[in-house]
Amino acid sequence: MIDEIKIFNRDLNTIRSELEANKPYEACGVLIGTLDGSTAIVEKALPITNSKRTRRSFELDPKEHYDAWNEAEKNGKDIVGVYHTHPMSSAIPSQWDRETMQNYASVWLIAGADGMQAYVWDNGLKPVKLTEYL
């Protein structure tokens, strides 16, 4: 189980920019990098179109998600997680997020109106330590 995510400041800024640019709608993307034991090391936050384009849910555009996965794999990387925004609420998983997380074994990083938090699902919602690099 992942218990820490390390992510560069520039990638957190990308996510913050996505939150602001798409407000009041949710934005989303993938976190590309590697796993080192129980730590997910993010090398790139890649925005992906929210094909739902709603204020309360997201769906990664299937083609963009597939292309990102292929590109990551070609470069010897993995999609270690997803991110999405809660521009009008806190960085706590919604009921829809919780239900969806149960089928996705990676980190979920949520950028909310009150900051960022990361989670995994392991027989329930578990917070993940978020470490920022410069």
Domains of the chain listed by start with CATH number: 4-133 (3.40.140.10)
pLDDT-based confidence at residue 54 (cuts at 50, 70, 90): confident
Over pLDDT 70: what percentage of the chain?
A: 100
Indicate left, alpha or beta for 25 from its phi (over 0: left) and psi (-120 to 50: alpha): beta
What is residue 130's predicted lDDT score, i.e. its pLDDT?
Answer: 97
Catalytic residues: 26
pLDDT-based confidence at residue 57 (cuts at 50, 70, 90): confident
Question: Residue holding tokens 């090398």?
Answer: 43
17-26, 72-81, 99-108: which range is least confident on average?
99-108
Amino acid letter at 12? Answer: L
User: Taking 90 as the threshold, does the pLDDT of residue 129 lie above it?
Assistant: yes
For the whole model, what pTM was predicted? 0.95
